[in-house]
């Protein structure tokens, strides 16, 4: 059993923001695989696939570790079988990086997961950074149309990597 956790904030007003890129990726993966987020368990919306679970924590971003901890405990999976999908302001917009291990970097949601659960594989989607905006304002701002085009391509590539992770084919650090 693999668990794919997309990070984001639960309220609808955050749907089109940079900080909800993780939700957007798992939503696309669910759509590609005809799955629906129809269950709420472990403080997350859940969609079940063949041998895997997609999860969108319903805690706020900075408390993502609470939900991931409960998912790990309930489904009894090792840390190596939990993939965290998240935004990354320190990477260029549209860049994708998979790592099995590593620090949380500047991401508070990932930092909370590392502190409460441990180090898990992660799939970071670069969202760039607007140097003219406060960091919190930027990650919670709406994604503009030009950026959506760039990110939509990244979402497709991220879904391909998620499939490889589920199938046990993604074993080395990868950057796209």
Question: Which CATH number fits the domain that encloses residue 94?
Answer: 3.40.50.1470
- Burial label for 169, CB within 10 Å (0-12, 13-18, 19+), is exposed
The pLDDT of residue 98: 94
Q: What pLDDT score was predicted for residue 106?
A: 67
Which position has the token pair 């994708």?
A: 96
**Number of residues that this document lists for the chain:** 176
pTM score of the predicted model: 0.94
Higher pLDDT, 64 or 110: 64
Strands 82-88 and 122-126: parallel
Nearest to 53 by CA among 26, 31, 32: 26
54-94 pLDDT, tens digit per residue, is 999 999 989 999 999 999 999 999 999 999 999 999 999 99
How many domains would you assign to the chain? 1
Q: Is 19 a catalytic residue?
A: yes
Mean pLDDT for all residues in the chain: 93
pLDDT for residue 173: 78
Q: What is the mean pLDDT of residues 111-122?
A: 93
Q: Is the pLDDT of residue 39 over 70?
A: yes
**DSSP character string of 95-120:** -EEEESS---TT-HHHHHHHHHT---
| Mean pLDDT value of segment 35-62 | 95
Lowest mean pLDDT among 32-36, 55-59, 130-134: 130-134
Active-site hit among 19, 56, 107, 129: 19
Q: Which domain holds residue 90?
A: 2-175
């Amino acid at each position: 059993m693999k668990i794919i956790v997309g990070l984001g904030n639960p309220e609808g007003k955050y749907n089109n923001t940079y900080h909800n890129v993780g939700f957007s990726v798992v939503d696309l993966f669910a759509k590609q695989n005809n799955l629906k987020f129809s269950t709420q368990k472990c403080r997350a919306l859940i969609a079940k696939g063949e041998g895997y679970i997609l999860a969108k924590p319903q805690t706020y971003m900075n408390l993502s570790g609470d939900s991931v901890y409960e998912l790990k405990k309930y489904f009894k999976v090792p840390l190596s079988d939990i993939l965290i999908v998240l935004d990354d302001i320190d990477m260029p917009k549209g860049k994708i990086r998979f790592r099995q291990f590593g620090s949380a970097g500047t991401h508070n949601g990932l930092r909370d997961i590392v502190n409460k659960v441990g180090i898990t594989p992660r799939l970071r989607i670069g969202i760039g950074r607007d140097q003219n905006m406060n960091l919190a304002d930027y990650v919670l701002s709406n994604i503009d149309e030009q950026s959506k085009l760039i990110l939509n391509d990244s979402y497709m590539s991220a879904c391909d990597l998620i499939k490889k992770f589920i199938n046990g084919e993604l074993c080395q650090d990868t950057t796209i």
